[in-house]
């Protein structure tokens, strides 16, 4: 066989090789470890991971071609969260991506030298994850979701939609230290709104059931549910219990009223996951997390479930409806 014919044959064969094989012969396939707080079967969580993956693809990182994404799911359980973080550390990824303070903390402990991008953290400085927002230091950076002052806004919106509320139980995961600042903000806003605020730690189905039943046993009660992987994983139960006991409840993400909750005000989580992908892209291209400032949210949504309001006998003020970014009927 002549050399020219042999080279042509070889070139044709190479064209048929799997894309991933050819990619490995050039730039090596990078590994990204992703740690999520709830379940793989949770449509909301799946949508967030999909937004992250699509954004990476738009930046040139195609799964199965030049990246491999290892996904792990905590299913709302802190022990499992730590186990999954350790499992991701063992595969030695090129970059890590975490949702929330508990997941980020678990990954930092399991893989202290691996670049880590977080999303949906309220206060990474007080949590000890970064030195400052502008200069994170170390190997961790990412995107926050709230400022502490939002706590007063959540309480105000609950009072607006349910003006008869005089007592509010704030449900939160006590194992998430980042929530303490939000809780203080809510407690500080209570007197100005003539609302008695009570902190109610809960982390299991039994505790949620017991706490919400106790709130309903006294008149004029309401709920505020602080965002955490535990409350997110139990959101259907919390929403069902609030409806069962006819308690107005405020939340911090759209997924809660979309699932039947009354009202939410908070960040556009899909947008944050997309932005998170941009930082992972930069890390994979050689940027150091210490040089990437922690960014704050730029999009917030007020969402009202009108059907739930009617079921509770609440008439939503026209002024509040006019402010809503989305009304679910």
Give the pLDDT confidence of 216-228 residue by residue, as tens digits: 999 999 999 999 9
Give the pLDDT confidence of 29-60 residue by residue, as tens digits: 999 999 999 999 999 999 999 999 999 999 99
Q: Tell me what the mean pLDDT of segment 190-210 comes to.
A: 96
Task: Identify the band that residue 264 occupies on the pLDDT scale cut at 50, 70 and 90.
Answer: very high
Tell me how far apart the alpha carbons of residues 41 and 280 are, in angstroms, rounded to a whole number. Answer: 24
Same fold, 3-145+268-291 and 150-267+300-328: yes
What does the DSSP 8-state code read for residue 63? B
Mean pLDDT of the chain: 91
Q: Decide if 84 contacts 72 (C-beta within 8 A).
A: yes
Could you state, in order of their start, the residue ranges of all structural domains in the chain? 3-145+268-291, 150-267+300-328
Selected residue with higher pLDDT from 15 and 132: 132
Q: Decide if 299 contacts 270 (C-beta within 8 A).
A: no
pLDDT at 115: 98
Q: Tell me what the mean pLDDT of segment 101-119 comes to.
A: 96
Report residue 297 as tokens.
């949210």
pLDDT at 147: 81
The alpha carbons of the chain give a radius of gyration, in whole angstroms, of 23
DSSP string, 105-120: HHHHHH-TTS-EEEEE
Report residue 175 as tokens.
């194992």
Buried b (16+ CB within 10 A) or exposed e, 43-70: ebbbebbebbbebbeeeebeeebbbbbe
Give the pLDDT confidence of 230-260 residue by residue, as tens digits: 999 999 999 999 999 999 999 999 999 999 9
Domain 3-145+268-291 has CATH 3.40.50.2000: no
Backbone angles phi, psi at 227, to 5 degrees: -75, 130
CATH topology of domain 150-267+300-328: Rossmann fold (3.40.50)
pLDDT over threshold 80, residue 12: no
pLDDT over threshold 60, residue 201: yes
Tell me how far apart the alpha carbons of residues 173 and 281 are, in angstroms, rounded to a whole number. Answer: 32
Q: Which neighbouring-strand residues pair with 118?
A: 98, 142
pLDDT at 284: 97
Task: Identify the band that residue 14 occupies on the pLDDT scale cut at 50, 70 and 90.
Answer: very low
């Amino acid at each position: 066989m002549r050399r020219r014919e042999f080279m042509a044959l070889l070139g044709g064969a190479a064209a048929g090789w799997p894309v991933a094989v050819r990619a490995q012969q050039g730039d090596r396939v990078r590994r990204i470890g992703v740690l999520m707080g709830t379940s793989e079967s949770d449509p909301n969580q799946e949508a967030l991971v999909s937004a992250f993956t699509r954004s990476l693809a738009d930046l040139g990182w195609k799964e199965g071609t030049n990246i491999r994404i290892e996904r792990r799911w905590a299913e709302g359980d802190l022990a499992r969260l730590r186990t999954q973080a350790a499992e991701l550390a063992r595969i030695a990824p090129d970059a890590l991506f975490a949702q929330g303070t508990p997941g980020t903390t678990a990954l930092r402990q399991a893989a202290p030298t691996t670049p880590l991008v977080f999303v949906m953290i309220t206060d990474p400085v007080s949590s000890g994850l970064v030195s400052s927002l502008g200069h994170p230091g170390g190997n961790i950076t990412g995107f926050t979701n709230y400022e502490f002052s939002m706590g007063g806004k959540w309480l105000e919106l609950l009072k607006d939609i349910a003006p008869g509320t005089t007592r509010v139980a704030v449900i939160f995961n006590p194992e998430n230290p980042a929530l303490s600042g939000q809780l203080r903000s809510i407690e500080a806003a209570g007197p100005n709104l003539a609302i008695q605020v009570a902190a109610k730690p809960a982390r299991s189905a039994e505790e949620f059931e017991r706490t919400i039943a106790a709130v309903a046993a006294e008149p004029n009660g309401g709920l505020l549910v602080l965002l955490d992987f535990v409350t997110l994983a139990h959101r259907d139960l919390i929403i069902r219990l609030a409806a069962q006991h006819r308690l107005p409840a405020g939340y911090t993400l759209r997924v809660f009223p979309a699932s039947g909750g009354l009202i939410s005000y908070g960040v556009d989580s899909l947008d944050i996951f997309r932005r998170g992908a941009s930082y992972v892209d930069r890390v994979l291209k050689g940027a150091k997390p210490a040089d990437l400032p922690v960014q704050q949210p730029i999009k917030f949504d007020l969402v009202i479930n009108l059907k739930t309001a009617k079921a509770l006998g609440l008439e939503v003020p026209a002024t509040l409806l006019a402010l809503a970014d989305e009304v679910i009927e």
